[in-house]
Structure 1
Amino acid sequence: MNNRDVHLPGSENRQVTRAAGIIGIATLISRFLGYVRDMVLASFFGAGMVADAFIAAFRIPNLLRRLFGEGSLSIAFIPVFTQVMIKGDKAEGHRLAVGALKLLLVVLSLITMIGIIASPLIVHTIAPGFAKDPQKMALTITLTRLMFPYLIMIGTVALCMGILNVLGHFAAPAIAPVLLNLSMISAVFGASLFSDSQTVRGLGLAGGVLIGGVLQLALQLPFLARHGIRFWKRSGLWHPAMKKVGVLLLPTIFGAAVYQINILVGTLLASLLAEGSVAYLYYADRLVQFPLGIFGQAVATAVLPSLSRQAAGGDYAGLADTFSHAMSLVLFITIPAMVGLIVLRDPIVALLFQRGAFDEQATRLTSMALLYYVLGLWAFSSVRIVVSVFYALKDTRTPVMTATVSIATNLVLGMVLMAPLKHGGLALATSLASMVNLTLMVYLLRKKMGLIRWRPVLVSCLKTIAASIIMAVVVLLICRLPVFRQSLPGGVRLPIMIVIAIGSGVAVFSVAAKYLAISQWDQVMGLVKRSLSRS
């Protein structure tokens, strides 16, 4: 890494696109297994008491992972680590990385011990509605205590991912969640061999989470060692550069994890509604996480090291160009994904989850939540890109301010909309709050960096919307063909219809994107062709 690199915006854009592709492919594999996992959970647990208890319990360490792991420490650490590395002092950068990892282990261990002791208070705060069912409350507390140590492993994994991303390694960090999904699936089936009790299976699933966390951390260590970063190296817990990380850390807790905090607010309010409401929101959110994780998070993860290099080198014109490229790319992919999920939400939910304990009513109510969540997909994805710019510039105040407004908006809208729309109102509140967050951040970024070229982003976005509308019309027509309503047996109707509809939608969108001359289409296809030529 050297200062010359930061003056090559075209090179940075290609690197961002390539890195996003690697992360996206790895995340696709992980998300696929994640859906297999959720299909297993839906089949074994449905949307009943154990499902609500596990989902609420798992949200607590998962939120803390977002806050203290990839949501704050990783984002606060990357710009500082990049600055040390870009100066060419490799040994100093390694000392910083090892010290940060050891310090994080100590901090997370303390938080975990406190969390285990305070689990009853935490659960009563997060899911107050569970108090009316003592059995559900007791199970949620037990599961929370069992899964709290997951925070130690996954928080450390998140920092490892940030270090490896700065060093140009994206594949291993992105593929790590596959191990968690495999571990959870195996745990459910393993527990089922010993007992038919859903409670026992739920406890087994919590054990699978812990094993998955250990496996994810173990995967990162050889790749860190290959770059000269070894846990076992003698090093203190403190490095002078950690002071800069500390200055950035606390504000990023809210700024980076606003989506997860809003989801947690939804869980809190959903616990006051009918049984199953927490589960409906969870399954719908999992479907939204598919394009959000593969595309939105992939681009955001890929772009932060590039933005940090450009900010550290004072290349603000290059930074603005990289940001515009990332925004156009994420909107080009998430807008058609959003439209596709809206059109196909009912058959997709039915195909993935409707079996065993997950009945038609659960499908209908999950589909309703999915509709309201997916309306905000473009905003969820875009916020991650804008946040990356502020953090690359070491501006933590702005994301905190907008995140605070967003969380307050979500809470108020959730309480207002949950009366007429039940759990669907909570999903809609999350989407609207994210749109408010994005609007505020874009306005403030424009004031901070007037040199950003918004016109190409807007033109690309409008063209993408036009191509997505054409795609939606074709997909709707395909779903209404008589062959899918009368001729095919029920067991194969849904999968065949969805495969044909998605394949046709992708083909139509591709033709429309090429005809409308959307530049991101050429970039994505170029990445695909280069990947195929190397294989």
Structure 2
Amino acid sequence: MTNQEQTPSRSFAGIAGIVAAATLISKVVGLVRQLAIAAAFGVGAAATAYSYAYIIPGFLLILLGGVNGPLHSAVVSVLARRRQEEAAPLVETVTTLVGGLLLLVTFAQLFLADELVDLVGHGLDTITRGIAIQQIQIMAPMAVLSGLIGIGFGTLNAANQYWLLSISPLLSSITVIVGIGVMVLQYGKDIIKPEYAFIGGMVLAWGTLIGAILQWLVQLVVQWRLGLGTLRLRFDFKSPSVQEVIRIMTPATVSSGMMPINVATDLYFASPIPGAAAGFNYANLLVQTPLGIISNIILLPLLPIFAKLAEPENWPDLKLRIRQGLLLTAFTMLPLGALLVSLSVPIVQVVYERGAFKQDATQLVSSLLVAYGIGMFVYLGRDVLVRVFYALGDGQTPFRISTINILLNAGLDWILVKPFGAPGLVLATVSVNCSSMLMLLWLLDRKLNGLPWREWTVPILGLTAGSVVTGITSYLTLVVLQQVLGKEGLLILILELCISSLVGLVVFGAIASWMKIPEVNSFVIRMRQRFLKK
């Protein structure tokens, strides 16, 4: 949809403020959901079965229905360059195509639920296995819903509807929380008894499905109001716009679908290391929560902008926007990574170290957190560049690079696991992300007839140096505080962590301000004005 036909444009910082607030609310509600599941079912049959049954629906919801996923990116890339009247037929045709294909996946889950559970959970006891089979069959329609939600995300993003796009995922969390609350009111403390496991499993499955339905319906209502498509079936699959969506979406989906292969490879090499697989989950949660919020803030406003600047005559402006995306990524990810590296131990202690989570587990997870922190910038920077290729109508290049990286990841896992153990597997992933980013930059340089390398690298290197100083400052502050206050007690750990982080961020802010990077200064000023006004 062209600028003339869209709603009035907002500033990048204004959009980022909306996305930040909505995403934060959604993440907090998601955390409450997990706490409710843990409190109600612990690691009993209901929760264990749900972990296995949710593998396929959860993967599809992230892959196809997630913000910044292949469907979302493909729809934004095409719609942002089309007129308003072209939007509804395109959305309806893509919905018909994707919905029909995913309907087959839904039926496959319904009829092959037993085999799927036995494949991923061959050692489950009879009760847990039975619950998991029922849960898969209940949540099977989420295959279709994931595609519809992904299309809805892309449609709303192209129409500058950011609040609903960022906050709608919390509906799935709310329905699960409400379901657990109703069960607690009805059965009280008895819900922890084994005989209530089946009921608990059904509450989790139905709550998740109803939440996905609500998420799709609220998107659909807004689409209808904006004239961006209805439930009408269209079969104009040969339309140039539809073909463009397919051309971008197909390799992007296959490329994203290769992620589980890399995860499986990492777990294969981690299997001889005690506790490594669980450690990955704990460390990854600490990384993905802030990363998910910041990636939405940066990527959501930029996706339609990239798409509108895809024509050769707009490439000078496109390069400026790519620089903006990379510099904001460096400005946010580099100091965050520095804090994860320097404060990894107290972070893990504050979040996890209680009950069965002892000091040896803290050492393992904190070492993994250090490795994750090193790669924060390249992780998100790669995603920014991938979206540029999608906007240019090129989904093949990221796909080819992902294919190469499967072999590279396996080779680096084999090399680095021996000297570094479990952190070596994370370092292998970081190295693969770094190589991906460099390859994408090199190919983008050729595609856009040259990139201003010096204008991009100098400020990024300066911010990198500033993040190193930030990490050192935070660590030294922590050491001094520990000498004065000690290392025992949750409140003391939280106080030390907050002070050390704040000192480091103040130092980084001073360095970034001294560098006078226009994109960063403008973004910070507008964000400050927006939140102070509120």
How would you bin the TM-score normalised by the shorter chain?
A: 0.7 to 0.9
Matched, 1:162 2:160: no
Whole-angstrom distance in 1 between the partners of 2:122 and 2:45: 13
Alignment of 1:56-205 (within 5 A): 57-70=53-66, 71-85=69-83, 90-119=84-113, 122=116, 131=122, 138=129, 142=133, 144-187=136-179, 193=188, 194-196=190-192, 204-205=203-204
Q: What amino acid is aligned across from residue 450 of structure 2 in structure 1?
A: L
Alignment of 1:242-391 (within 5 A): 242-256=242-256, 262-263=262-263, 265-266=265-266, 272-273=271-272, 277-312=276-311, 314-356=313-355, 358-391=357-390
Q: What amino acid is aligned across from residue 375 of structure 1 in structure 2?
A: I
Q: Which range is displaced more, 286-295 or 324-333?
A: 286-295
The C-alpha deviation readout for 1:469-488, integer Å capped at 9, x for no partner, is 22222221232234677469
The C-alpha deviation readout for 1:416-465, integer Å capped at 9, x for no partner, is 55566554443333222222222222222222223322222211211212
Whole-angstrom distance in 1 between the partners of 2:220 and 2:12: 24
Paired residue for 1:526? 525
- Specify the SS of the correspondent of 2:510: helix
Are the counterparts in 1 of residues 80 and 158 from structure 2 also a CA contact under 8 Å? yes
- Specify the SS of the correspondent of 1:84: coil
Q: What amino acid is aligned across from residue 461 of structure 1 in structure 2?
A: I
TM-score by length of 2: 0.84
Q: What amino acid is aligned across from residue 192 of structure 2 in structure 1?
A: D
Are the counterparts in 1 of residues 63 and 253 from structure 2 also a CA contact under 8 Å? yes
Q: Which range is displaced more, 489-498 or 464-473?
A: 489-498
**How far did residue 162 of structure 1 move?**
0.8
- Specify the SS of the correspondent of 1:323: helix
**How far did residue 402 of structure 1 move?**
0.4
Whole-angstrom distance in 2 between the partners of 1:256 and 1:432: 18
- Specify the SS of the correspondent of 2:54: helix
The C-alpha deviation readout for 1:136-186, integer Å capped at 9, x for no partner, is 994795355554433333332221111111111111111122333344455
Q: What amino acid is aligned across from residue 243 of structure 1 in structure 2?
A: Q
In the alignment of these two chains, the number of paired residues is 521
Are the counterparts in 1 of residues 251 and 399 from structure 2 also a CA contact under 8 Å? yes
Whole-angstrom distance in 1 between the partners of 2:311 and 2:137: 42
Match of 2:24 among 28, 37, 42: 28
**How far did residue 276 of structure 1 move?**
5.5
Q: What amino acid is aligned across from residue 248 of structure 2 in structure 1?
A: L
CA 1:399–1:431 in 2, change beyond 3 Å: closer, same or farther? Answer: same
Are the counterparts in 2 of residues 349 and 363 from structure 1 also a CA contact under 8 Å? yes
Whole-angstrom distance in 2 between the partners of 1:161 and 1:286: 24
The C-alpha deviation readout for 1:12-69, integer Å capped at 9, x for no partner, is 9x84444334323322233334444455566778889987765565343333334434
**How far did residue 288 of structure 1 move?**
1.5
Whole-angstrom distance in 1 between the partners of 2:127 and 2:401: 35
- Specify the SS of the correspondent of 1:498: helix
- Specify the SS of the correspondent of 1:286: helix
Q: Which range is displaced more, 480-489 or 156-165?
A: 480-489
Paired residue for 1:492? 491
Q: Which range is displaced more, 41-50 or 411-420?
A: 41-50
Q: What amino acid is aligned across from residue 65 of structure 1 in structure 2?
A: L
Q: What amino acid is aligned across from residue 74 of structure 2 in structure 1?
A: A
Q: Which range is displaced more, 388-397 or 203-212?
A: 203-212
CA 1:96–1:133 in 2, change beyond 3 Å: closer, same or farther? Answer: closer
Q: What amino acid is aligned across from residue 156 of structure 1 in structure 2?
A: L
Q: What amino acid is aligned across from residue 254 of structure 1 in structure 2?
A: V
**How far did residue 533 of structure 1 move?**
5.7
CA 1:370–1:141 in 2, change beyond 3 Å: closer, same or farther? Answer: farther
Are the counterparts in 1 of residues 333 and 377 from structure 2 also a CA contact under 8 Å? yes
Q: Which range is displaced more, 361-370 or 462-471?
A: 361-370
Are the counterparts in 1 of residues 487 and 493 from structure 2 also a CA contact under 8 Å? no
Are the counterparts in 2 of residues 74 and 158 from structure 1 also a CA contact under 8 Å? yes
The C-alpha deviation readout for 1:359-379, integer Å capped at 9, x for no partner, is 544444333332323322211
**How far did residue 299 of structure 1 move?**
1.7
Q: What amino acid is aligned across from residue 78 of structure 1 in structure 2?
A: V
User: Which gives a bigger RCO, structure 1 or 2 (Cα 8 Å, sep 6+)?
Assistant: 1
TM-score by length of 1: 0.84
Q: What amino acid is aligned across from residue 245 of structure 1 in structure 2?
A: V
Alignment of 1:404-443 (within 5 A): 404-418=403-417, 423-443=422-442
Are the counterparts in 2 of residues 50 and 136 from structure 1 also a CA contact under 8 Å? no
Q: Which range is displaced more, 410-419 or 426-435?
A: 410-419
Q: What amino acid is aligned across from residue 90 of structure 2 in structure 1?
A: L
Unpaired segments of 5 or more residues in structure 2? none
Paired residue for 1:466? 465
- Percent of aligned positions that are identical: 26
Ranges of 4+ aligned residues in structure 1 off by more than 6 Å = 3-6, 42-53
Are the counterparts in 2 of residues 343 and 476 from structure 1 also a CA contact under 8 Å? yes
**How far did residue 300 of structure 1 move?**
2.2
CA 1:176–1:382 in 2, change beyond 3 Å: closer, same or farther? Answer: same
Alignment of 1:203-218 (within 5 A): 204-218=203-217
Are the counterparts in 2 of residues 42 and 356 from structure 1 also a CA contact under 8 Å? no
Q: What amino acid is aligned across from residue 249 of structure 2 in structure 1?
A: L
Whole-angstrom distance in 2 between the partners of 1:411 and 1:283: 22
The C-alpha deviation readout for 1:266-316, integer Å capped at 9, x for no partner, is 45665x457854433223222211232122343222212111111158412
Are the counterparts in 2 of residues 78 and 163 from structure 1 also a CA contact under 8 Å? yes
Are the counterparts in 2 of residues 66 and 260 from structure 1 also a CA contact under 8 Å? no
